[in-house]
Amino acid sequence: MAVLYLSSDSRRGEIFAESFARALPDLPFHIGSAPDPAAVEFLVAWTAPADLGQAYPNLRVIFSVGAGVDQLDLATVPPQVLVVRMLEPGIPQQMREFVALATLALHRDLPLYISRQRQALWQPGESRPAAERRVGVMGLGQLGQAVLDALAPFGFQLGGWSRSLRSLPGVESFTELPAFLSRTDILICLLPLTPETRGILDAGLFAGLPPGAGLVHVGRGGHLDQQALLAALDSGRLSAAWLDVTDPEPLPREHPLWAHPRVVITPHVATRVGAAEGAAHVIAGIRAYRAGRSIPGLVDRARGY
């Protein structure tokens, strides 16, 4: 029985190795390759080789080093192998901070003022109270609920959309997308990327928002139709967008989104998993597996998250 860590970040691998040596000294931990691939039962990785079943015939669990697993081709993962996403206590707090920053920036027209600064233009825009701004979150899991909690003190009218109806204090919950979109002035995408949600941020969705709505996208790049976004911004259907994720990452240097005056792009930094905290999560998962308990972060393969 052994653990294999596959990642290009060697320093993080060293921190994982140190944590495993302290917590599970009986479990060999290898970085990059294992002397005996047949001994590998636990894989810690961002992506996995296409011949996973042949490469590691006794693999039991894959632990993603990220909060999502859409980067893994689950079709190539043998059905008996469990897939676990990263659950790190700091992730919700980081997402709360980042989405509050982005939402307030769109609420107070920061992209407009950055554009006017570049023109040396001293020209105030219109100001709107938070109580008159309707903010909607797509995806009401752990991160979506954390974001809504962070935004509540500002007084926004809060709404959320998910596959099943949720009861959250101070939040209007929707399962019907058109009704949710029609009342949303700033849309926050926190959905997992699945076949059902790929490309969901498209021209049809933007047409369902009130004119001049804003977009904060912190889900996955594959959710967004970038040409539809550009068209919505240029037509005035959307007023601004903050993108922390793109497809591909990074965008090509010549991509028009880089220079668009009403777009803010950040390099997928809304959350960053700490190495020591990530190692602790994997160690807890291995201990749970060995004890026959449920593994925190276990992915429903049918849903993809």
255 is catalytic: no
Residue type, 272: R
298 inside domain: no
- The percent of residues above 70 in pLDDT, for the chain, comes to 100
Does residue 210 share a domain with residue 191? yes
Task: Please state the rounded mean pLDDT for residues 268-280.
Answer: 92
- Cα separation values, 184 from 82, 97, 156, 223, Å: 37, 21, 11, 18
pLDDT at position 273: 83
Band the pLDDT of 89: cuts 50, 70, 90: confident
Full residue range of the structural domain in which residue 26 is found: 2-88+273-291
Does residue 95 share a domain with residue 71? no
The one-character DSSP state at 221 is G
pLDDT at position 54: 93
Does residue 211 share a domain with residue 121? yes
CATH of the domain at 95: 3.40.50.720
pLDDT at position 272: 87
Would the pLDDT of 9 be above 80?
A: no
pTM of the model: 0.88
pLDDT tens-place string over residues 100-143: 999 999 999 999 999 999 999 999 999 999 999 999 999 999 99
For residue 148, give both structure tokens: 């809504």
Does residue 122 share a domain with residue 258? yes
How many domains is the chain partitioned into structurally? 2
134 is catalytic: no
300 inside domain: no
pLDDT at position 283: 97
pLDDT tens-place string over residues 145-198: 999 999 999 999 999 999 999 999 999 999 999 999 999 999 999 999 999 999
Would the pLDDT of 25 be above 80?
A: yes
Does residue 50 share a domain with residue 34? yes
305 inside domain: no
With H, G, I as helix, E, B as strand and everything else as coil, classify residue 298.
strand
| Annotated catalytic residue within 220, 237, 260, 281 | 220
34 inside domain: yes
57 inside domain: yes
Q: Provide the CA 219 distance to its chain's centre, in angstroms.
A: 4
Would the pLDDT of 16 be above 80?
A: yes
Does residue 153 share a domain with residue 7? no
Contact 220, 193 (CB under 8 A): yes
301 inside domain: no
Task: Please state the rounded mean pLDDT for residues 30-39.
Answer: 95
For residue 250, give both structure tokens: 């990074």
Does residue 163 share a domain with residue 81? no
Residue type, 144: G
Does residue 217 share a domain with residue 191? yes
Would the pLDDT of 8 be above 80?
A: no
Taking the C-alpha atoms of residue 289 and residue 203, their distance in angstroms, rounded to an integer, is 44
Does residue 149 share a domain with residue 122? yes
Would the pLDDT of 258 be above 90?
A: yes
303 inside domain: no
| Annotated catalytic residue within 198, 255, 268, 301 | 268
pLDDT tens-place string over residues 189-225: 999 999 999 999 999 999 999 999 999 999 999 999 9
Max CA distance (Å), the chain: 67
Does residue 114 share a domain with residue 261? yes
Taking the C-alpha atoms of residue 168 and residue 161, their distance in angstroms, rounded to an integer, is 11
304 inside domain: no
Does residue 15 share a domain with residue 135? no
Would the pLDDT of 297 be above 80?
A: yes
Band the pLDDT of 66: cuts 50, 70, 90: confident
Dihedral (CA of 71, 98, 139, 239) sign: negative
Which residues have CB under 8 Å from 56's CB, separation 6+?
A: 4, 37, 38, 40, 43
- Cα separation values, 172 from 31, 134, 166, 205, Å: 47, 10, 9, 19
Does residue 186 share a domain with residue 157? yes
Closest CA to 136 of 167, 182, 204: 182
Residue type, 254: E
pLDDT at position 136: 98
Q: Which residues of 220-246 are buried (b: 16+ CB within 10 A; e: fewer)?
A: bbbbbbbebbbebbeeebbbbbbbbbb
